[in-house]
Amino acid sequence: MANRNDFKLLHAKCIQIYENVLASLKINKTSLNSLTDIEKARYGFYYLILQTLTDDNEIGEFTDMICDTEFNSRFFDKRDSDEGIDAAYFDNEHFQIVLFNFKYRENFSADREQNINEFISASKFFNAISTGNTMHLRGKIKKVADEINSRLDSNQIWTILYYYATNENITLSSDHPNVKSFAEEYDIEFKGFGLNEIVEATSIRPQNIDASFCVKKGAALTYEEDEMSSDKSYIVKMTLPELIRITCNDSNLRNDANKEGDDSLIKAHVDLNVLFDNVRGFILRSKFNDNIIKSLSDEPQRFFYYNNGITIIAKDIKSSESRIGGKWNFSISDFQVVNGGQTLRSIHKFNQDDEKNMVNKLNKAHVLVRFLRISDDNLRNKIGEFTNSQNAISLSDLRSLRSEQILLEQFLETHGIQYFRKKGDFKDSKSYRYSIGKERLGQLLLSTMNKRPEVATNKKKEIFDSLYEELFISNEKLLSKETVDLIFDYQNIESFYRRSRYSGSVQKNMYIAYLRYCLSETTIDVLVPQFEDFLQNYMKNNPKDQSASRFLIMTSFKDAIDLEFKIK
């Protein structure tokens, strides 16, 4: 259960996020610099939740998602009503429309529950969606409503998730009668997200974790890389109560092998430090977690068959034979779960859902756990990458463990740039001049150093596959001032478009970045109008009933740009 200190830590983190957002967006408004800490934390909270619950990492994209009236009024002088929807995100990969209602409380109360009345304040908006009548809506929220209706009217099946995100201690349950009625009326899925969920999803405070356990002799196999090696690894058939114990946040329980199946495990929580090296955090919108919990509930004795297992890497593993009971005693030091993080969190969640689950379900279930004694950090990262590559996970996330990505993160940090190497990669409070995700940087490198802006936005997967070697490994300019300058140029391009009369996009940003890279003496305020005029004339001279975004990915358009701007 989250406590007052978690509330205070979240508050401080949100203030720091706000400061980084303001620096990143380059909005120079005295009123935004003089906000109270509560107001800063409230807006920082928006960004923290969006980074946690969406698949994006870019501050500019989060900004575009936010519909909140007060936010847009203060930041951009746009005062259209948000109709109870504070942000909207379209997940085109999973066909999900994700809507958010944010509430940030000033004071902590251990007994405060999310307010049902504020949750249903969006009924007018949902009514507009259900009837298809959005004529009374204005500004950004109307655009969101129209986009939702266009997706719902298509042949594809879309689902709507509605997150009620607050910093309150008790989360509103989806089983609440009023919540169920509201969700059924508008055909949406409700998700309460409070302080406990936020702490679980964002608090990464790496500390060395140790544990002890014992297993029957027949339940463990030994592996050695070669006969002379002192590094022994083990494959263990482990009961789920024992797995809960060695990964819980109580160090006394972790190191007491006699507590297997003990009642004290019923309220145990996973220690998030064991997941620090995991490729991905808890994917909160994934159905995969529900399937794990369903198999535990329906067929716990067959869980071993249905699950791929867990991989744990430890700096040291010691084993000894017990003289009593035919068992092996193990102690593991400084260990991390590098594969199976979702399985582990789902098991812990199932244990916490009902105190009867420990005896009735979990005691019947086993899982395969690999304990690998690895001291080489590079090998640890490779194991995390390769073991996760056997599951449904993006190449982008897999690459996040590579040594060149870690070096890049460290290099950019020295220049005041926060590099989002992996999802949920929240750092200690620190001021940054700009923040950029690895996908966006890959697109930027492809557009500029590789001079291919026309493919940067529609080859996102290739950036971390066939193009990864030349962009991130053999690229001698990667860890150089040239990369730093590219990133800050991109920040200035975003800022210019946001202030200008032109409609910006990632595609346009990549072209301007390309032009700036090739024509370093020409400033952004000169390049953008020239580019926009050329684009409009090109579209008029090439009438194909296509949008600007279609022209921007054509090789013929890029060739025309090179000719117009005299780029060889």
For 337-393, write each residue's pLDDT tens digit: 888 888 998 899 899 888 899 989 999 999 999 999 987 777 777 777 676 654 555
Per domain, the residue ranges of the chain are 4-202, 211-393, 399-564
Task: For residue 347, give both structure tokens.
Answer: 């098991």
Give the chain's radius of gyration (CA, Å).
Answer: 26
Strand partners, 436: 419
What are the strands of the beta sheet with 96-103, ordered from one edge?
Answer: 87-91, 96-103, 159-166, 189-193
The answer to whether residues 445 and 427 touch, using CB atoms and an 8 Å cutoff, is: no
Specify the 3-state DSSP secondary structure of 267.
coil
Residues of the chain with pLDDT under 50: 204-205, 282, 390
pLDDT of residue 389: 52
User: In the predicted model, what is the mean pLDDT of the chain?
Assistant: 88
Strand partners, 369: 236, 310
DSSP-assigned letters across all residues of 173-229: PTTSHHHHHHHHHHT-EEEEE-HHHHHHHH--------EEEEEEGGGEEEEESSTT-
pLDDT of residue 204: 45
Interior angle at CA 509, CA 507 and CA 514, nearest 5: 100
Task: For residue 83, give both structure tokens.
Answer: 């109709």
Measured between alpha carbons, how far is 515 from 495 in angstroms, rounded to an integer? 17
Amino acid at 162: Y
Measured between alpha carbons, how far is 419 from 103 in angstroms, rounded to an integer? 28
Task: For residue 126, give both structure tokens.
Answer: 């949902």
Q: Where are the alpha helices (DSSP H) in 54-176?
A: 59-65, 69-76, 116-119, 123-131, 139-152
pLDDT of residue 525: 97
Sign, CA dihedral 71-76-78-82, equals: negative
pLDDT of residue 205: 47
Sign, CA dihedral 199-200-205-207, equals: positive
pTM equals 0.72
Domain spanning 4-202: which CATH class is it, in words? alpha beta
The fraction of the chain above a pLDDT of 90, given in percent, is 62
For 234-250, write each residue's pLDDT tens digit: 999 999 999 999 999 88
The answer to whether residues 311 and 340 touch, using CB atoms and an 8 Å cutoff, is: yes
Cα–Cα nearest to 428, from 122, 8, 2, 9? 9
The answer to whether residues 334 and 315 touch, using CB atoms and an 8 Å cutoff, is: yes
Measured between alpha carbons, how far is 359 from 529 in angstroms, rounded to an integer? 69
pLDDT of residue 325: 67
Cα–Cα nearest to 448, from 483, 472, 474? 483
307 — phi, psi (to 5°)?
Answer: -110, 140
